[in-house]
Amino acid sequence: MRFLLCFFLMAMMMGEKPQKIEDLRWKNRIVLYFPGKSGTFPKLSHELEEGVRERKIVYFVFDEILNSNSQVDFSNAYISEIRKKFGASCEEACWVLIGLDGGVKLRKEGELDWGYIFKTIDSMPMRRSEIGSKT
């Protein structure tokens, strides 16, 4: 009986959507994009989608509404907190790369540069380890 109860509780917890960025720590790298007044988030090509997936990137676009490639359950208050913490100083578009450990790895103004993001991630020790374990 205890086994069934434990199994049921674990299954419920695994189905929960992340409520904070911290819930993604050690599972995903994160890109936060704040498009500003003139910024846009272009539709990802199949090649870019594959690169995002391969590098375990979850991205969030903080436009009028929050857009993401992941299902999350962020409250409006938390979204405002993230905007203030990471995007408040942006007059125009800017983005932030957060590593698997939850630390900010890059913060840049301007449109998203997926090539630069991929190159940066690929130079990180944990990513090198991931690549090495695939071969």
Of 16-20, 32-36, 56-60, 123-127, which one has max mean pLDDT?
Answer: 56-60
Supply the pLDDT for residue 135.
58
Supply the pLDDT for residue 30.
98
Tokens of 69: 């490639």
Q: Which of 21, 31, 30 is nearest to 72 (CA)?
A: 21
**Least reliable range by pLDDT among 2-6, 47-51, 93-97:** 2-6
Supply the pLDDT for residue 31.
98
Residue 104 β-bridge partners: 98
| Chain-centroid distance, C-alpha 124 | 16
Determine the 3-state secondary structure of 9 from DSSP.
Answer: helix
Q: What is the CA radius of gyration of the chain?
A: 17
- pLDDT mean over 52-57: 96
133 pLDDT higher than 90: no
- pLDDT mean over 63-91: 92
Supply the pLDDT for residue 71.
93
State the CB neighbour count (10 A cutoff) for residue 95: 28
Q: Please, which pLDDT band fits residue 5 given cuts at 50, 70 and 90? A: very low
Please give the model's pTM, rounded to 2 decimal places.
Answer: 0.84
Q: Please, which pLDDT band fits residue 60 given cuts at 50, 70 and 90? A: very high
Determine the 3-state secondary structure of 105 from DSSP.
Answer: strand
